[in-house]
Structure 1
Amino acid sequence: MDEAQGKATAGLILQGLRKRFGELEVLKGVSLEVHRGEFFTLLGPSGCGKTTLLRLIGGFEVPDEGRILLGGRDLTGLPAHLRPVNTVFQNYALFPHLTVYENVAFGLRSRRFPEAEVRAKVEYALGLLHLESLVHRYPHQLSGGQKQRVALARALVNEPEVLLLDEPLSALDAKLRAEVQVELRNLQRRLQATFILVTHDQEEAMAVSDRIGVMEAGRLLQVGTPEEVYERPRTRFVAEFLGVANLIPARRVGEGVETPFGFFPLQVPWEEGTLALRPERVELHKEPVPETFRARVREVVYRGAYLEVFLDPPLRARTALRVVPGEEVHVRLSLGGLVVLHE
């Protein structure tokens, strides 16, 4: 591949981005590569720096250090309106005095596209988001889900190389949010565009993403597919933020580790540390089976598809086995599910 082809296929590259607001360092040297045509999610709690990172990519803030490259071009010093990037904000930011059609057409008209081209592009975007029947409505006449689709259409009509999504589904109720997540993922696949989503919702990140970047306190802790970050978390924070995790203290003994639940043949790189195990990797049995230990059921929570079971000694399990508080069960931990955490 020659240099010109390499630049054409290059994705978004962030190099050592740092950002301070007064004495507070919000981003602490974040580096990342988002592949072209990828649905990438920045996931983390409030205040971790994910929205600031999105604003740097969009050109709404300027980094104190580092560079932002897109398709081989350096965007670091470019203002927002000159970047091939569009943002869908949490509050939709629709113009209340304009119809759905006029909202979607606004950006194209401000860039002085011929009216015939505006009409063609707007109609295409409205069709993508199933908004054809709403073209004459105003924002106050739309539901939350409809407003969200209008905001997406308005961003997509400009054909950005990168679409930034700043917690766009947070105002929707649970059922509608799940529906729009599916629509969003299908839309990204049809367009084969680069989407970057910011969210604090772990289930949302898992549902839509090709890869997830988990952030905490201004740092990018781990990047991987949803399966990788869930099944193989690197740190205690990632293990706990991506769902429920049993954290098991362990110390190395010979060819394995000693834990409060017994000895396991597991190679670890430390003398003493912590293992993580997801609740669904904790097996419960009514009768003794090999490699089990006894535990007592402390609490049972019905979750529909499974029971969440709290045990003594302290462990959480997800199971279809019907158990009741006070019952004694036999527990087996899946060795393949034990993950060494790097604190």
Structure 2
Amino acid sequence: MKKILSILLLSIFVISCTQIQDSTYIELNGRAQGTTYQIKYEAPNGKNFKDDIEAIFKRIDLSMSTYVPTSLISTVNKGDTLVHVDTLFLEVLDRSIEIANESNGDFDPTIGPLVSLWGFGFEEVRQDVNREMVNDRLERVGYKQIEIKGDSVRIPEGFQIDFHAIAQGYTVDYIADYLEGYEVTNYMVEVGGEVRARGVNQKGEVWRIGVDKPSEEIDPEGRFQFILELENKALATSGSYRKFWVDEETGERYSHTIDPKTGYPARNRLLSVSIISGSSMDADAYATVCMVRGVEGCKEFLNSKDNLEGYLVYDVDPGNWTTFTTEGFEQYIVN
């Protein structure tokens, strides 16, 4: 694995032909959680929730961001001590464990030691990892080792909980639920490409979302892999387009998604998967499960779930990809 490639993020793009004209709709944009966010909603009495939403981002970071040294997750990750956590942490942890059980460990919230080993999330991905190093870290991975007592959590020393494959989706749901608590019925919440939408936009139309093709450069004439209408649903996309390695000898792709069972980046033909679900948190986590399982494993998984729809982009051969779409997903696509 000698060559490191970066490829354009399959980003989410909210389709809008005109600028917001109705003064009751408010648009908020900014940066949080190491990425960007875009929120549009019909405001009750013109209320601007910007300060509230920024406070939500801070609260979630203080709960489960491994980049905040004083966060609850950073404290838990010091290991071997029961740590009192908040309801946000417990909600994400409980759902993570449920999905881990459901996926037979293909999703594992204790994958932190492997994420650190491979260097994903930092500028330079490590190329000097060997089997001995991987085996050493695998001994410190296993969600069944998490101990929960009431509102306190403990993990063995050397373990690390990592919510990166689910926390952003949770953030989207939290903000959406917060808006609904103020009787906002028309909104679109997007954080780092994870989206949840309800109702209609300022033109009275169902929210249209476009997902970019997994190409190194954006083609203005054919930018989107697909455009869909998202009504009272959530959408998440994950893939090997963000950061991957290619073995120059075999041509094999090493995804940035790590397989918790092997300890190595997932190796399969799946370039990306987009999941539609009732919650952004679930869509986020299930997209990761699919990336670990690969094309056929993902198809099988989606067929077993009545509440999930998926769109897969995968290699036929290098530089030539094709797609698979569940029947339910096709109903959302408009272009």
Give TM class, smaller chain. under 0.3
Bigger strand fraction? 1
Higher relative contact order (CA 8 A, sep 6+): 2
TM-score by length of 1: 0.27
